[in-house]
Amino acid sequence: MKNIKFNPSGVCCKEMEIILNDDNTIEDVTFVGGCPGNTLGIKSLVKGEKALDIAERLEGITCGGKKTSCPDQLSFALRDAVK
């Protein structure tokens, strides 16, 4: 199991903690900050899924006028974690 802490940039969330199983499926994701309903929804949808599959789906999502979003930042964190 890997436990990764990621500090996103350009979003409301200040930290993401990701736990990956040995086969790179997502065991858990925790967000510090951000919109509680959205981050809990993301957490519920990604648990048990392959990290790279989720990264591919979330990459490029924006939030309001921002060039990134919590899901987009999670995609960066997941790609880094799998390396």
How many domains does the structure of the chain reveal?
Answer: 1
Provide mean pLDDT across the span 62-81: 96
Q: Which tokens belong to 22?
A: 């040995």
CA distance 48 to 37: 19
What is the band of 60 on the pLDDT scale with cuts at 50, 70, 90? Answer: very high
pLDDT value of residue 2: 95
Does the pLDDT of residue 83 top 90, yes or no? no
Give me the domain span that covers residue 65: 2-82
Note the pLDDT tens digit of each residue in 9-57.
999 999 999 999 999 999 999 999 999 999 999 999 999 999 999 999 9
pLDDT band at 79 (very low <50, low <70, confident <90, very high): very high
